[in-house]
């Protein structure tokens, strides 16, 4: 963490150097809960001027700044961010977008049975709500796991937008429709004060989904626990001797039922564990991957085995399946790659192609408004 950053004031003077955003045709975005920049990178690819990303986790700074050259990373708890802070970041006269994807862990189906209210992050969507209420940006977007739709905090968020006069649209997006080789489903909300908001349909809608082979089939082989010398992010977690044996008898797109009984986990030998067929499994080459979670580097956590190499997928492979370009920089040259931390950030990210589609849709909204 940059020791001085917490004490550094968030900009409070309006920026005047963002000509494109302030000429009425551009959109300037602030991304709260920006993480390593998945959403920001996608928005920027659509032409949005992302002026700042805010996140409490300082380990997001390098990837965010390295790939978002014009945006500043502000390491701050969103609860300490004020409307004045945001107003100082948006260039004067810009069409403002406030983007914010609050942590999804409290709502994830992987945590079924856990009361989200017991988790402090439950309240974080309310912080986005507060910032929208206080700044009333022209555009708002958020993304989360579909289960959030049934939570009071989400209903309150939508009602707040409608009461403020926003047009709001919400849809569950399948990432394969946006060109990803991943079966991820996410709820996307877009809100506009400039005409009717609509969640963008993916441009691959109705097409055969991209496959794991098409996405990562070109990457060089590596061994479990090793990284590629030319790309340290192409690194996979080591396997215990038992898990290596299990991996070696696992079939592409198969299950642990393909293993001899003596290799099966105790829980899988019991009738109650037989349903969990997607743990300790390899992906198939010719279909999309499952949802890339924050634990994709862990063989026991899902269908995260490489289709043919004896290892789980690498950080780079997970990032590509999440729609990051192969060139995305995650760690400074020469520094070690923090597998668990980076794995969490990659699994948490909004796939950039989804962000790009959202950004494009806001531009269409702005154009229609001008017409």
Ligand X SMILES: C[S@@+](CC[C@H](N)C(=O)[O-])C[C@H]1O[C@@H](n2cnc3c(N)ncnc32)[C@H](O)[C@@H]1O
* Residues belonging to the active site: 104
The rounded distance, in Å, linking the Cα atoms of 178 and 307 is 23
For 55, 100, 203, 356, the CA distances from 178, given in Å and listed in that order, are 26, 20, 6, 9
Q: Which is nearer to ligand X, 293 or 348 (CB)?
A: 348
Minimum CB separation of residue 49 from ligand X in Å reads 17
Of the candidates 100, 311, 283, 347, which has an alpha carbon nearest to the alpha carbon of residue 221? 311
Q: Which is nearer to ligand X, 148 or 224 (CB)?
A: 148
Minimum CB separation of residue 280 from ligand X in Å reads 26
For the chain, helix (H) and strand (E) counts, in that order, are 12, 9
Interstrand relation of 185-192 and 167-174 (parallel, antiparallel or unpaired)? antiparallel
Minimum CB separation of residue 268 from ligand X in Å reads 31
Q: Which is nearer to ligand X, 90 or 107 (CB)?
A: 107
Write out the residues near ligand X by the rule CB under 6 A: 33-39, 55-57, 60, 77-79, 101, 103-104, 121, 124, 348-350
The rounded distance, in Å, linking the Cα atoms of 357 and 348 is 18
What percentage of the chain's residues is helix, strand, coil (to nearest 5)?
40, 15, 45
| Phi-psi map region of 68: left, alpha, beta (phi>0 left; psi -120 to 50 alpha) | beta
What end-to-end distance do the CA atoms of the chain give, in Å? Answer: 47
Minimum CB separation of residue 257 from ligand X in Å reads 34
The rounded distance, in Å, linking the Cα atoms of 171 and 351 is 16
The rounded distance, in Å, linking the Cα atoms of 335 and 227 is 13
Minimum CB separation of residue 350 from ligand X in Å reads 4
Is 295 within 8 Å of 324 (Cβ atoms)?
A: no
């Amino acid at each position: 963490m940059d020791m001085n950053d917490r004490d550094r004031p968030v900009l409070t003077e309006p920026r005047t150097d963002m000509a494109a955003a302030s000429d009425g045709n551009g959109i300037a975005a602030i991304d709260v809960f920006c993480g390593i920049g998945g959403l920001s990178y996608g928005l920027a690819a659509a032409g949005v001027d992302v002026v700042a990303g805010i996140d409490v986790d300082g380990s997001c700074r390098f990837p965010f700044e390295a790939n978002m050259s014009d945006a500043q990373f502000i390491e701050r708890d969103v609860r300490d961010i004020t409307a004045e802070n945001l107003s100082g970041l948006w260039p004067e006269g810009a069409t403002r977008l406030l983007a914010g994807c609050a942590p999804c862990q409290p709502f994830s189906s992987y945590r079924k049975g856990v009361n989200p209210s017991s988790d402090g992050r439950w309240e974080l969507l309310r912080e986005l709500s507060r910032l929208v209420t206080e700044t009333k940006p022209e555009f708002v977007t958020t993304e989360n796991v579909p289960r959030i739709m049934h939570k009071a905090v989400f209903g309150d968020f939508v009602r707040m937008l409608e009461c403020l006069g926003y047009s709001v649209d919400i849809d569950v997006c399948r990432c394969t429709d946006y060109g990803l080789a991943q079966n991820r489903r996410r709820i996307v909300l877009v809100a506009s004060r400039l005409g009717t908001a609509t969640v963008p349909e993916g441009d691959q809608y109705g097409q055969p989904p991209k496959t794991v082979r098409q996405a990562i089939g070109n990457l060089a082989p590596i061994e479990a626990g090793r990284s590629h010398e030319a790309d340290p992010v192409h690194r996979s977690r080591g396997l215990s001797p038992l898990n290596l044996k299990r991996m070696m008898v696992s079939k592409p797109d198969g299950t642990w039922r393909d293993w001899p009984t003596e290799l099966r986990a105790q829980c899988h030998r019991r009738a109650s564990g037989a349903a969990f067929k997607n743990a300790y499994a390899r992906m198939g080459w010719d279909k999309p991957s499952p949802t890339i979670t924050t634990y994709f580097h862990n063989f026991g956590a899902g269908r995260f085995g490489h289709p043919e190499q004896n290892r789980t997928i690498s950080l780079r492979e997970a990032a590509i399946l999440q729609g990051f370009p192969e060139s995305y920089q995650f760690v400074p040259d020469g520094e070690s790659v923090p597998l668990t931390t980076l794995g969490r950030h990659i699994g948490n990210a909004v796939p950039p192609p989804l962000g790009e589609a959202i950004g494009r849709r806001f531009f269409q909204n702005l154009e229609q408004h001008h017409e």
